[in-house]
Amino acid sequence: VGYRFTEENAEPPLPKIPCHPIGYGAAANILSRLGGMEIPPGSAMSGGLAITYRTGPEFLEPAMKIQLNVTTRNERAKVENVFGIIKGTVEPDRYILIGNHRDAWIYGAIDPSSATAVMMELARVIGDLVKSGTWKPRRSIVFCSWGAEEYGLVGSTEWVE
């Protein structure tokens, strides 16, 4: 039995801590000023910036503070999933899913963009093969473009349910 995805039944719950994406320069500036114990280079807690990583939470300069003004709105928005289907010739009721989400937290995020480009190229190449009669799939192929992945896999979850 399916149910509608709401804030109340979100698992895990939607985040309550305000957050905002920052760039490389701002991250390096903040992380380089953290105090606390030094994190050994190469450990799981160290990153790729050319700085000395520390545990925090205090800063090296005790008077230093960061102020972040985040304006967010909780609002309902329409989530859309987009599908393309190439029907199978032998087992059309069995499916191969090729999918990706297309939303991102910030402009220029690489994972949805690169995966969508790959999926679109696969759809084009497979579609050309089918149209030319060179090849036909045994099973149906469904190209899936899901919305609202960044908000708790909403698009794909709703589709499955």
User: How much of the chain is in helix, strand and coil states, percent to nearest 5?
Assistant: 25, 15, 60
Token pair in block for residue 146: 């899901």
**Cis, peptide link before residue 12, omega less than 30° from 0:** yes
Whole-number pLDDT of residue 159 = 87
105-119: pLDDT as tens digits: 777 677 888 899 999
pLDDT tens sequence across 37-55: 999 988 888 888 889 999 9
Q: What is the CA radius of gyration of the chain?
A: 23
* 88, 138 contact by CB (below 8 A): yes
Residue 84: per-residue pLDDT: 97
149 part of the active site: yes
Using pLDDT thresholds of 50, 70 and 90, give the confidence band for residue 1.
very low
Cis? peptide before 92, omega within 30° of 0: no
Q: Say which of 7, 58, 91, 149 is annotated catalytic.
A: 149
Instruction: Answer whether residue 70 shows pLDDT above 70.
Output: yes
Model pTM above 0.75: no
